[in-house]
Amino acid sequence: MGTTPNTTAPDAPEHEVSPPERAVHGAEWDRIHGGYFANPAMAAPLTTLICAAAKRNPPQVIVDLGGGTGFLLHELARRGLAESARLVNLDASAEQLGQGKDPRVKRIKTSLTTLRRAQFAKQDEAVLFIMRSVLHHFGRDGLLPILKRLRHVMQPGERFIHQTTCFEDAAAAQCLNKLYALMGTGKWFPMRTALCMALMETGWQVEATAPASPLPLNSRDLARCYNLAPAKLSQIQKTLGAECGECSPVFVRAARGFTAYLPFTIFTCVAV
Distance CA(70)–CA(87), nearest Å, equals 10
Stated pTM of the model: 0.91
Contact 227, 28 (CB under 8 A): no
Specify if 16 maps to a domain: no
Model confidence pLDDT, tens digit, residues 114-132: 999 999 999 999 999 999 9
Specify if 164 maps to a domain: yes
Question: Quick check: 76 pLDDT over 80?
Answer: yes
CATH number, position 79: 3.40.50.150
Q: What is the mean pLDDT of residues 227-238?
A: 94
Query: Confidence class of residue 245 from pLDDT cuts 50, 70 and 90?
Result: confident
Distance CA(62)–CA(51), nearest Å, equals 11
Specify if 124 maps to a domain: yes
Contact 251, 176 (CB under 8 A): yes
Count of all residues that appear for the chain in the document: 272
**Residue-level pLDDT at 256:** 85
Question: Quick check: 162 pLDDT over 80?
Answer: yes
Structural domain count of the chain: 1
Specify if 147 maps to a domain: yes
Specify if 227 maps to a domain: no
Domain encompassing residue 116: 21-169+186-216+262-271
Distances (CA, A) of 204 to 54, 86, 100, 266: 18, 24, 30, 14
Residue 15 DSSP symbol? S
Q: What is the mean pLDDT of residues 175-199?
A: 96
Q: What is the mean pLDDT of residues 257-262?
A: 94
Specify if 151 maps to a domain: yes
